[in-house]
Structure 1
Amino acid sequence: MNEEFLVTSRADMERRGWNQLDFVYINGDAYVDHPGFAAAVIGRVLESRGYRVGIISQPDWHSAEPFKALGRPRLGALITAGNLDSMLNEKTAAKKFRSTDNYSPGGIAGKRPERATIVYANRMREAYKDVPIIIGGIEASLRRFAHYDYWSDKVRHSILLDSKADILSYGMGEHSVVEIADALAEGKNVAEMYHIRGICYVTSRPPISEKTVLCPSYEEVKADKKAFARAFKIQYEEQDPFYGRTIIQPSENRYVVQTPPALPLTTEEMDAVYELPFTRRWHPDYDDCGGVPALHEVQFSLTSHRGCFGHCHFCAITSHQGPIVQNRSHESLIREAVHMTHLPGFKGYIHDVGGPTANFRHPACKKQLTAGVCKDRHCIGSEICPNLDTSHDDYLKLLQEIRHIPRVKKVFVRSGLRYDYLLADHNKKFVEELCRYHVSGQLKVAPEHVVKHVTDLMGKADVHAFLTFKKWFDEANRKLGKKQYLVPYFMSSHPGCTLADAIILAEFLRDMHMQPEQVQDFIPTPGSLSTAMYYTGMNPLTGEKVYVARRPEEKQMQRALMQYKNPANYDIVYKALCIAGRRDLIGYGSHCLIPPRRPGKARMEKTAGRAGNRRPGNPGRKGRTLQDRQRHGFR
């Protein structure tokens, strides 16, 4: 049975008659053979090209011995921390350890080290000194330049330097990893691969030319936040496969070099990747501990596309998957859906058909396919580009075709809907069909905030778009006689959001009779524009100053205000209202957020009032679960 999976043991190698592997793949997650998991995708892609690949998942990193479990690889070692940054996977916004890990067997936390890419690479180097090491995945991709690390609160080197890897493959990786493998198979050394798109390398002789751009050095960005902002702006604006230049960042006496991004996959290439022989199961080694929780949500889901032109500033998907949407054909998706209906455990429900954003099924405009994305404007966000192709016809037809497949009872849309894009299409028919066939009682949407200067800094539409979509959604459900609800996601403490702004959001929730069960405090993850704002206190794209809530107490206040009805939050909400000078919201009136304190708490009230006098609010200053739906590819 294990021959259906990629090799994970010497016994698997013996059954196949293999004495040596071409590549050993060190994986920070449990091995799940499904296209939503990085190691499976890259492993299957290399296997389809004739390479022998073995996976070592979550090795004990306390010595090099577990890294030798499959022997010395003939060509190289591939290393990824997993589908998420290992620090984000381990710790919360409050820097506390998470109690579970959905990417580990049984959901048990602690199966991978902090900064897993660095640790794994160093252990592999210890195991086999001269084996080429290629790092990739979301952790490596988003830490490829000097970057701000929230958990240590400092600027760190490029992960290439700390890991001492030979090559970093950034982005989704199918193109670059195959080119690297072919070059190694031809006997080429690393220096002969510097032309490959989608990689980073370290050199003492940078390729200076009119096709390269030099950004501020590690030493500069560490010492000067304005230099950090300049470096980020250069990196942000050059991440386009059509016009992006090679980026060079000095670091001490060396240079980190990023080649231009890999070209987007064609529809035919996308179809080929997702129709590789995935078992869509976790490895049987995990059966006794209950499997891998992360599989449950995606096991019977379809990835229809990748890439996102949404430009949410706190999200790393655009940096990793790219802003140009790459889609699969209807025929490929239907074949996968039909195959899915015959799998054990399928009960007639396809949980999702989508990608980073469900209704972004095609590139934002035709120009992107030949000239790339616009450098000086976004497709959507606080404003919508007049050239944006907003048609939902293809996505609607796809959903119709899949729901008519025999044995399919229901097809849901759960991967997030960009409602401002839908409104731009003026397509109430799509909303009605969505409500009739593709909502399971609740539809998740992400307005994130309601104050305009905050949503502008987030790269999101303002609250009026959410209210208009809610009206359309409610009208459609009344017409259909259905009781279905929107579940909006909001974020606290995003750069630009003051305590006064957080109170405005709480008042909005009060007026809309909304009580969010889950709220997200902004986490500054490497690679995002919002993280650059958080660290520098400015918008790198404009140079404008941005208010940042840094104190743990203020972050706690902003978060608690979104759940002001929770009795456990009473004291912190009370203090927040006093500090902000909003005692008018304390009382029994319909406009009040919380009731007054009981007499026995009067002393605490007095203390909170004095605290407010010492640190007055300043409403005039301007100021995601895990944040990335990071799916697929070499992460």
Structure 2
Amino acid sequence: MSRDEMAARGWDELDVLFVSGDAYVDHPSFGVALLARLLEAEGYRVGIVAQPDRRDPAALQVMGRPRLFAAVSAGAMDSMVNHYTAAKKIRRDDAYTPGGKAGARPNRAVIAYTAAVKGAFKGLPVLIGGIEASLRRLAHYDYWDDAVRRSVLVDSKADLLLYGMAETALLEVARRAAAGEALREMNNIRGTAWMTAQAPENCLQLPAFADVAADTAAFGEAFRLAERENNPYAARPLVQFHGPRAVVVNPPALPLGEAELDRLYALPFQKRPHPSYREPIPAFEQIRFSITSHRGCFGGCAFCAITSHQGKLIQSRSEQSVLDEIDRLTNDPEFRGTITDVGGPTANMYGLACGNESAKTACRRSGCLYPQPCKHLVTKDSRAVRLLKKIRQHRQVKHTFVASGVRYDLLERQPDYFEDLLVHHVGGLLKVAPESTSEQVTQVMRKPGPQAFIDFLEQFRRRSRELGLRQAVIPYLIASHPGCTLSDMVDAALFLQQHQLRVEQVQDFTPTPGTLATCMYYTGRDPLTGAPVHVPRSEREKKLQKALLLWHLPESRPLVEEALKGCGRESAGRSLLGGASGRGARRRPRK
């Protein structure tokens, strides 16, 4: 990160300069750190400029001009999501910044940092990546502008865009750049997007930017077409014109094999923030003693961006790789015997896969669980059970928790994992995400219906009682999701009351780029079925929906009364409001 550190390694120049919107934490959970370590392992000299002042060229020039290119990322979050709440109010903190201070990165950081790099190093090739670039690779609806924006590749004027996890794409870009090839000429690398004046042959052409910006039907059609090209084994290149030039999105990178994934986690990460920082970094403290066992998610939830970024195919590490990382983790002088999490986007998908190779390579589904689990999906829990058992047997590990969240609708197929989870790995509270308890809304969300949650809840409580354990479920629910009406939310409040559940926090739906739910929010229709979808848009309706999920709080009562009257459900108030007053509002949830 400095000239002194370069000198200590005997470097007179860098090969690649990373510019990141996050502070530099040398941990594999931070994308820039992982990619930088991977390039280093291949012999490249790499530097990281973290959260620079984009208005000061000297902030980017601290290590000189890199020989090959600069790589720009907004960080682990889209910068607009990082900066603003669902109500478009400025957030007061940033978990990826020392001291948790807000404002260390600019709005639309990929665009801002790319411009800053081009100003600091005239003529230097720049590639962009990370989740902000990944999910904005095509024309997309932007909630904060309330308009359709162009591909971030167009707006940033970068030479190349890498989407997804990017390891294989970045290595090929570096190899070809070192051989003298220009980034703008690299048009055949998986997991990349590039620009051209003429659409290549054998591509799927999407409605142009001008059309999707002016017509919601064209926007929905562009989403529907692109959604079908998510399988790296079957996808075609996508083309979308932006004026006279087109953005070409090559097929996704092929998933990493077990040995490739193991290699990444064996790189010499220091597992701590850069020593120049003097204040703690909240995001690091949260994941410091956690283990990532796999990547990808085949859930296909409408509001989630994981499939668009990590892919739906599960890529799992070997048991030995995980155990080796735990050995290194236990040598940390501050380790006190507790591993805070073992999992990934969904904890109980470790070791799962498609059981039909030919079906996998031809599949066009966005997920494997909705509306019913795919018949080819292998859900055996033996690998996950064996891994957790070996971790529990580690001499220096006292407690191992699963905090990533689980798909409760899979647990009926994973009885041994469910048993081990309850007996050994729940720290009193188990987080699950039904997101809604309405049959109609869960269909829009591409989530299991309420009966699956009821079955899970009953089994969880019954088995916890049998084991003599005081454990509770913490449900995560979304307010104001497309398809959700005030009446649906009244039903959700009654469901919570009936099943003796209380939620302490409610997530307001935020339309993030690239997701199915965001397409519904913008167009008012499900692009895959054409069906109209109710969209809560007014701040008042959003506030009322949130209050209904927090019906048990006395301060919610006036809003609950207003919501009940607004949807003609006053009769439900006798049950609901009776339970939201007096001492009953202070009871703890059922164990």
Measured against the shorter chain, the TM-score band is over 0.9
The alignment partner of 1:487 has SS state of: strand
Superposition map of 1:25-174 within 5 A = 25-174=18-167
Structure 2: give runs of 5+ residues left out of the alignment: 583-591
TM-score by length of 1: 0.90
For 1:336, the equivalent position in structure 2 comes to 325
| Structure 1 residue 430, shift from structure 2 partner | 2.6
Superposition map of 1:135-284 within 5 A = 135-209=128-202, 212-284=203-275
> In structure 1, what is the Cα distance between the partners aligned to 2:405 and 2:259?
25
> In structure 1, what is the Cα distance between the partners aligned to 2:267 and 2:358?
26
| Structure 1 residue 369, shift from structure 2 partner | 7.9
The alignment partner of 1:372 has SS state of: helix
> In structure 1, what is the Cα distance between the partners aligned to 2:553 and 2:578?
14
Task: Judge which range, 472-481 or 131-140, deviates more.
Answer: 472-481
CA contact (8 A) 1:324 1:368 kept: no
Cα deviations by residue, 1:520-544 (Å, 9 ceiling, x for unpaired):
0111000111100110111111111
Structure 1 counterpart of 2:536, from 537, 541, 549? 549
Letter in 2 for 1:139: E
For 1:403, the equivalent position in structure 2 comes to 392
| Structure 1 residue 379, shift from structure 2 partner | 1.4
> In structure 1, what is the Cα distance between the partners aligned to 2:218 and 2:315?
34
Structure 2 counterpart of 1:388, from 361, 377, 380? 377
| Structure 1 residue 302, shift from structure 2 partner | 0.9
Q: Tell me whether 1:293 sits opposite 2:282 in the alignment.
A: yes
Superposition map of 1:585-604 within 5 A = 585-587=572-574, 592=578
| Structure 1 residue 297, shift from structure 2 partner | 1.8
Structure 1 counterpart of 2:339, from 331, 344, 350? 350
For 2:294, the equivalent position in structure 1 comes to 305
Letter in 1 for 2:154: L
> In structure 2, what is the Cα distance between the partners aligned to 1:283 and 1:590?
51
Cα deviations by residue, 1:11-36 (Å, 9 ceiling, x for unpaired):
11111111110011000000000010
For 1:629, the equivalent position in structure 2 comes to none
| Structure 1 residue 593, shift from structure 2 partner | 5.6
Letter in 2 for 1:123: A
Letter in 2 for 1:557: L
Structure 2 counterpart of 1:508, from 495, 508, 511? 495
| Structure 1 residue 567, shift from structure 2 partner | 2.8
Structure 2 counterpart of 1:472, from 453, 459, 462? 459
| Structure 1 residue 431, shift from structure 2 partner | 1.9
| Structure 1 residue 590, shift from structure 2 partner | 6.8
Letter in 2 for 1:284: P
For 1:576, the equivalent position in structure 2 comes to 563
CA contact (8 A) 1:585 1:592 kept: no
Q: How many percent of aligned residue pairs carry the same amino acid? A: 46
CA contact (8 A) 2:355 2:377 kept: no
| Structure 1 residue 411, shift from structure 2 partner | 1.1
| Structure 1 residue 577, shift from structure 2 partner | 1.4
Structure 2 counterpart of 1:374, from 363, 366, 374? 363
CA contact (8 A) 2:486 2:545 kept: yes
Letter in 2 for 1:151: W
Structure 1: give runs of 5+ residues left out of the alignment: 1-7, 597-635
Q: Tell me whether 1:439 sits opposite 2:426 in the alignment.
A: yes
The alignment partner of 1:206 has SS state of: coil
Change (3 A) 1:388 1:188: same
Moved over 6 A (4+): none
| Structure 1 residue 316, shift from structure 2 partner | 0.2
Letter in 2 for 1:276: L
| Structure 1 residue 377, shift from structure 2 partner | 7.0
| Structure 1 residue 499, shift from structure 2 partner | 0.8
TM-score by length of 2: 0.96
For 2:586, the equivalent position in structure 1 comes to none
Superposition map of 1:484-499 within 5 A = 484-499=471-486
| Structure 1 residue 368, shift from structure 2 partner | 5.3
What is the RMSD computed on CA atoms of the aligned residues?
A: 1.5
For 1:523, the equivalent position in structure 2 comes to 510
CA contact (8 A) 1:64 1:127 kept: yes
Letter in 2 for 1:64: P
CA contact (8 A) 2:296 2:311 kept: yes
For 1:628, the equivalent position in structure 2 comes to none
Cα deviations by residue, 1:97-153 (Å, 9 ceiling, x for unpaired):
111110000100010010000000001011112111010000000000000000110
Letter in 2 for 1:512: H
CA contact (8 A) 2:346 2:406 kept: yes
CA contact (8 A) 2:19 2:51 kept: yes
| Structure 1 residue 208, shift from structure 2 partner | 2.1
CA contact (8 A) 1:105 1:292 kept: yes
Cα deviations by residue, 1:4-56 (Å, 9 ceiling, x for unpaired):
xxxx0111111111111001100000000001001110100100100000000
Task: Judge which range, 165-174 or 235-244, deviates more.
Answer: 235-244
Q: Tell me whether 1:21 sits opposite 2:18 in the alignment.
A: no
The alignment partner of 2:248 has SS state of: strand
CA contact (8 A) 2:351 2:381 kept: no
| Structure 1 residue 61, shift from structure 2 partner | 1.5
| Structure 1 residue 203, shift from structure 2 partner | 1.1
Change (3 A) 1:376 1:18: closer
The alignment partner of 1:216 has SS state of: coil
Superposition map of 1:317-336 within 5 A = 317-336=306-325
Change (3 A) 1:228 1:249: same
User: How many residues are treated as equivalent by the alignment?
Assistant: 582
Q: Tell me whether 1:482 sits opposite 2:469 in the alignment.
A: yes
Task: Judge which range, 475-484 or 109-118, deviates more.
Answer: 475-484
Letter in 1 for 2:217: K
| Structure 1 residue 62, shift from structure 2 partner | 2.1
The alignment partner of 1:284 has SS state of: coil
The alignment partner of 2:353 has SS state of: coil
> In structure 2, what is the Cα distance between the partners aligned to 1:496 and 1:244?
30
> In structure 1, what is the Cα distance between the partners aligned to 2:444 and 2:282?
34
Cα deviations by residue, 1:431-450 (Å, 9 ceiling, x for unpaired):
22211111111110001111
Cα deviations by residue, 1:300-347 (Å, 9 ceiling, x for unpaired):
111111011010110000000001101110011111111111112111
CA contact (8 A) 1:68 1:127 kept: yes
> In structure 2, what is the Cα distance between the partners aligned to 1:471 and 1:579?
33
CA contact (8 A) 1:352 1:412 kept: yes
Task: Judge which range, 373-382 or 312-321, deviates more.
Answer: 373-382
Task: Judge which range, 384-393 or 322-331, deviates more.
Answer: 384-393
Q: Tell me whether 1:559 sits opposite 2:585 in the alignment.
A: no
Structure 2 counterpart of 1:413, from 397, 402, 409? 402
> In structure 2, what is the Cα distance between the partners aligned to 1:72 and 1:314?
40
The alignment partner of 1:135 has SS state of: strand
Change (3 A) 1:122 1:464: same
> In structure 2, what is the Cα distance between the partners aligned to 1:152 and 1:590?
38
CA contact (8 A) 1:218 1:252 kept: yes
The alignment partner of 1:232 has SS state of: helix
Cα deviations by residue, 1:452-472 (Å, 9 ceiling, x for unpaired):
111011111011111111122
| Structure 1 residue 367, shift from structure 2 partner | 2.9
Q: Indicate the structure whose relative CO is greater, using CA pairs within 8 Å and at least 6 residues apart.
A: 1
